[in-house]
Amino acid sequence: SAKSPLQTWTSSVNQASKTALLAWERATGIELVQINGQRRYGGPPPGWVGGPPPAGTEVYIGKLPQDMYEDALIPLFESVGKLYEFRLMMTFSGLNRGFAYARYSTQRGARDAIAAFNHFQVRQGCAIVVCRSTQKRELSVDGLATSVSLEELEATLQRVTEGVLSVTLHASPCQRQAKLAVLKYSSHQAAAVAKKALMEGNLKLGGSGMKVEWLHRDLKQKLQLWEERSPSSWVHEGKSLVVPKPLAQSPVMQDVLDHLNTLCWRQHLGTPLLLIKCVQVHPSGWLRFWYQLVIPGYPVPLSGFTWVQQDGQGWSKHEEAKVAVALHVLHVLGESL
C-alpha cells in the first residue's frame, strides 16, 4: 500500500538512526522495552543488586533531536555515572518526543549529569536541557460517589493499578454530593501509568463527572488547610480566634491508623509508635493535643500539635486526635518516601 508523505518522511529521516540503534542493541545485548508511549532501559539494569535508588536521582532531558535514540543517548549519559534507568518518550511514527528521563544509581550521578549536560550541544546548534525531574507521584480523583468507602476504593485501586502507597478520602471541594480521593504512588512512572489506566477504565465508583488529574498544588494546600490553620495561640491584640474547619470525615476514618501501619510495613520502616497527650482545652470546644510519632526506620521522630473538636464523631477524643495525626503523617511520609 502507498505510504503517506509523512510516513515516507519519517522513514527516510529515521532509517540510518534506526539501523544504528538495532546494531547497538545487538552489539551490547541491551534490551529496550516499549510500553505506554515510552521506551525503557533498565529499572533495574542487568546485574543490579538491591532496591531502587533514593529520591533525587532522576533528571529530565529536553530539547532532544527527534531522530536521536538510545545508542547515542545512553552511552553519553552513562559517561558521568551509572544509570539505573533510561526512559525515552516515543511517538507512534517512531520519532522520539523530544524528551527523556535518566535515573542514576546515586544523587551525585544526577548532579553530575546536570552540570555536564545542561545546554550541552549533542549536535551542532542543538543544545539540550537537563534538570532535576519533578517526580509527580500524586493523583486526585474527583467526583466519586459519597457511598464509596476507603476499603472499597483501596481494593479497586490495588486491582487496576500498581504501586499505591496511600489513599485518603475527602469531601469534594468542587462537586456537591461527591468525594475526592488523593492517591500517592511509589514512583512517578507508577503514577503516570495509573493515571492513564484510571482515565481510560471505568472505576464504577463515581458518576459521569469523575476527573483524574495530577494533584494540583493549590488543591493540596486546600485539603491540608484544616490541619495547618490550627490556632497556635488564643486571642492576640483583640483579634478574634480562628478555629480550623475540618473536612467532612468519611465513616471509615478510623481505618487511617491501619493505613499508616500498612504504609510503614510496605516501606519496611517498622511499626509506628504514637504518643499523644491533651495539653489545652479551649472554651470554643476545641482540644489541643501534643503528639510524637516514632517510626523505627525513619530518621527523626515526627512531633507537633493537632486540634480536635469536642462535639466530633462520638469517639474518644484521644482516638480522634490519633486519626488527625495519622492523616498528617501520611502526607509527610508521602512527601519524603
| pLDDT of 212 higher than 80 | yes
Half-sphere exposure of 246 (CA within 13 A, CB side): 21
The predicted-structure confidence for 4-48, as pLDDT tens digits, reads as follows 444 554 455 678 888 888 899 899 988 888 876 789 999 899 889
What is 138-215's CATH number, 3.40.225.10, 3.40.50.720, 2.40.50.140, 3.30.70.330?
3.30.70.330
Return d(Cα 6, Cα 122) in angstroms, integer: 25
| pLDDT, tens digit (0-9, with 9 covering 90-100), for 75-127 | 999 999 999 999 998 887 788 888 899 999 999 999 999 999 999 999 999 99
What is the rounded CA–CA span in Å between residue 72 and residue 307?
Answer: 57
pLDDT at 245: 37
Place of cell 507508577: 190
Domain 255-333: which CATH class?
alpha beta
Q: Where are the domains of the chain?
A: 13-132, 138-215, 255-333
Query: In this structure, is the dihedral angle defined by the CA atoms of residues 11, 16, 19 and 20, taken in order, positive or negative?
Result: negative
Decide if 249 contacts 259 (C-beta within 8 A). Answer: no
Residue 215: pLDDT over 90: no
| CB-based contact 41:86 (threshold 8 Å) | yes
Neighbours of 68 (CB within 10 A): 21
The residue among 17, 67, 78 whose CA lies nearest residue 42 is 78
- The answer to whether 127 and 75 have CB atoms below 8 angstroms apart is no
Same fold, 138-215 and 255-333: no
pLDDT for res 228: 43
Q: With cut-offs at 50, 70 and 90, classify the pLDDT of residue 193.
A: confident
Res. 336: pLDDT tops 60: no
pLDDT of residue 216 exceeding 90, the answer is no
**CATH number assigned to the domain covering 13-132:** 3.30.70.330
The C-alpha cell that represents 257 in the structure block: 491508623
pLDDT, mean of residues 277-305: 79
Task: Please say whether the beta carbons of 71 and 19 come within 8 A.
Answer: no
